[in-house]
Structure 1
Amino acid sequence: MKRLFIGALCGACLLGLLFPARCAAQKFRNDYYDTRRAAHDEEALPSGAVVFLGNSITEQGWWNVLFRDPKVVNRGIGGDNTFGMLDRLPGILAAQPSKIFLMAGINDITGGQSTETIAANIARMADMVHAEAPACRLYVQSVLPVSTKRLAYPYMKGHNARVAPLNERLRALCAERGWCTFVDLVPLVSDADGELRKELTKDGIHLQPAAYMLWRDHLRKQKYLR
């Protein structure tokens, strides 16, 4: 039974990526999203929680295991975009977390959203954190490039050119605000062509365990999280 459940869960997790139109613009809701969000709503956040908020790349990280800390909580949902995260954020902020590590944007890019719209949504999230949980530190993590050498999803080809300009907007956004920090993960996982290193990805976008360990080590090195 457990294997069947895990298999169904993994299959559903890919729905948001294989069918990006269902997640474009405000259309972030689908059966998988609703199931994961309901599970998150049932799981109360611990006091002083450290929340990893994002899409499938975040969801597939075993953050509390990587950091050996039960206060580190995963709030990634496969296929989610900045509209969905904006909708979910008030419930997270109600618990007054101590830190939020946000990664958002790649599903918006594949869904046809402009850089301006994505950056504006993330700016709204930054301002919400400051207004509703002023003691919480927000870490805006860079959008990762994909590997065209290993890309399993043809619809994602050609989108790497938009990743760097978006990250520069996010860097500037954080520089303008004193309550959020830009975390540049791109140099950790990129090859000489600026793409995701093929040995660090399963399908051109999702990460191998080694990439998550590089990610964890960087957050520790920068003293963002122990």
Structure 2
Amino acid sequence: MNHSKLNEYRMLNRHAKKGQILFVGSSLMEGFPIYEMQLTLELGLDRVIYNRGIGGTTTADLLQSMDACIFDLEPSKLFINIGSNDIGATGNEGYNKDTLLMNYNNILDQIKARLPLCEVFVMAYYPVNAQADFGLNSSDKNSMFATRTNANILEANEAIEQLAKQHGSSFINVNEGLADENGNLKPEFTVEGIHLWPNAYTVILDNLKRYL
């Protein structure tokens, strides 16, 4: 968990309006340049969008930082993209889908209890590209994509869609236009096969607009 980023958010939250729109998640959410986009694109919103994504965050990490990332802001709408780091986990524990779902269930339980009037949108995980050459050495690439595969992502998406339904949350897939005909993230949209350039977020935001 990035504690300096968490501390920064705690300070920023003192100046934030309550009842606004909130994005929360890992680096794939932190990298969403929504500050710039809501200023330059005519979204027609009467609310501000705040981003409380933190790079490297897992579902277990988010459970430890719910106040700073979510509850302090008391959002009226919440968009969550969390768990891609669980899917890509390396080391002794590695990826365990049951643990991901248990933690995600706990996250949604807490949100429902603390923010009963908040509209919650569970976002599908984005596709990855382990095929294109992004200049990575083979060992790094093998580690990055050992379990972070499009097959595992698809399976996880199906599981969190069911979880969202059980909680009365909306599961949304805003990935249209991101993948090629083989289901891989288009190379022009990604830094190294996982993280996204701003042009990818332009596509995502276009798909997301109707939910805002």
Under a length normalisation based on structure 2, what TM-score does the superposition of the two structures give?
0.83
- 1:123 pairs with one of 101, 105, 127: 105
**Per-residue Cα deviation, 1:162-199 (whole angstroms, up to 9, x for no partner):** 11110000111112222x11111333311111111111
Name the SS for the 2:65 alignment partner: helix
- 1:203 pairs with one of 183, 192, 205: 192
- 1:66 pairs with one of 16, 26, 37: 37
More helix by share: 1
Alpha-carbon distance, 1:218 to partner: 0.8
Q: Residue 186 of structure 1 corresponds to which residue in structure 2?
A: 175
- 1:104 pairs with one of 82, 89, 104: 82
Instruction: Check whether the contact 1:101–1:139 (CA below 8 A) recurs between aligned residues.
Output: yes
Number of equivalences = 191
Alpha-carbon distance, 1:157 to partner: 2.0
Alpha-carbon distance, 1:65 to partner: 2.4
Name the SS for the 2:99 alignment partner: helix
Q: Residue 35 of structure 1 corresponds to which residue in structure 2?
A: 4
Matched to 2:5, the amino acid is R
Name the SS for the 1:38 alignment partner: helix
Q: Residue 224 of structure 1 corresponds to which residue in structure 2?
A: 211
Matched to 1:132, the amino acid is R
- 1:114 pairs with one of 86, 96, 107: 96
- 2:114 pairs with one of 132, 151, 154: 132
Name the SS for the 1:76 alignment partner: coil
Question: RMSD in angstroms over aligned alpha carbons?
Answer: 1.7
Q: Residue 57 of structure 1 corresponds to which residue in structure 2?
A: 28
Instruction: Rate the CA distance shift 1:134–1:150 in 2: closer, same or farther, 3 A.
Output: farther
Ranges in structure 2 where 5+ consecutive residues have no aligned partner: 40-44
Under a length normalisation based on structure 1, what TM-score does the superposition of the two structures give?
0.79
Q: Distance in 1 between matches of 2:36 and 2:21?
A: 13
Instruction: Rate the CA distance shift 1:115–1:187 in 2: closer, same or farther, 3 A.
Output: farther
Aligned sequence identity (%): 29
Instruction: Check whether the contact 2:79–2:123 (CA below 8 A) recurs between aligned residues.
Output: yes
Q: Distance in 2 between matches of 1:150 and 1:54?
A: 27
Q: Distance in 2 between matches of 1:142 and 1:214?
A: 14
Matched to 1:156, the amino acid is M
4+ aligned runs moved over 6 Å, structure 1? none
Q: Which has the higher contact order (CA 8 A, sep 6+)?
A: 2
2:60 matched to 1:83?
Answer: yes
Q: Residue 18 of structure 1 corresponds to which residue in structure 2?
A: none
Instruction: Rate the CA distance shift 1:41–1:115 in 2: closer, same or farther, 3 A.
Output: same
Q: Distance in 2 between matches of 1:186 and 1:216?
A: 10
Instruction: Check whether the contact 2:88–2:145 (CA below 8 A) recurs between aligned residues.
Output: no
Q: Distance in 1 between matches of 2:9 and 2:36?
A: 18
- 1:141 pairs with one of 116, 123, 137: 123
Q: Distance in 2 between matches of 1:188 and 1:120?
A: 31
